[in-house]
Amino acid sequence: MGTALLKIKLMPEGADTDFEKVQTDAKKLLEENNAKGINFETQPIAFGLKALIVGFGIDESQGLEPIENALGKIDGVSSNETIDFRRALE
């Protein structure tokens, strides 16, 4: 098995969503699941609304669905979508 490199787009509940809190909660969740190389960026959507893009690497044997589901349940997140998935063989 190798490492899965993912980018997941987190859509906020509204334009006034506290991105710092969402980012902190996402980082904590990912660290608890042994994710590596965690990074964040914002992406403008429309009318002042922004999405938070979370990038990280994780061992494929761990299973990705539980992490994706947990990220979607973070307070302030209305939905999530995996926008990039790559395998890095070791």
Q: Indicate the domain borders of the chain.
A: 3-88
Between CA 6 and CA 81 the distance in angstroms is 11
Q: What is the mean pLDDT of residues 15-24?
A: 91
With contact defined as beta carbons under 8 Å apart, do 30 and 85 qualify?
no
Reported confidence tier of residue 73, pLDDT bands at 50, 70, 90 = very high
State the Cα–Cα distance between residues 21 and 77, nearest whole angstrom: 11
Strand 77-88 relative to strand 36-46, pairing: unpaired
Q: Which CATH number fits domain 3-88: 3.30.70.60, 3.30.450.20, 3.60.10.10, 3.40.1190.20?
A: 3.30.70.60
At residue 42, the pLDDT reads 93
Query: Is the pLDDT reported for residue 1 higher than 70?
Result: no
Nearest to 52 by CA among 18, 85, 89: 18
Cα separation, 60 vs 36, whole angstroms: 12
pLDDT at 30 > cutoff 90 = yes
Q: Which two tokens stand for residue 11?
A: 């859509």
Instruction: Find the mean pLDDT for residues 48-60.
Output: 92
Q: Is the pLDDT at 8 greater than 80, yes or no?
A: yes
pLDDT surpassing 70 at residue 90 = no
pLDDT value of position 16: 87
pLDDT at position 65 over 90: no
Average pLDDT over residues 42-69: 90
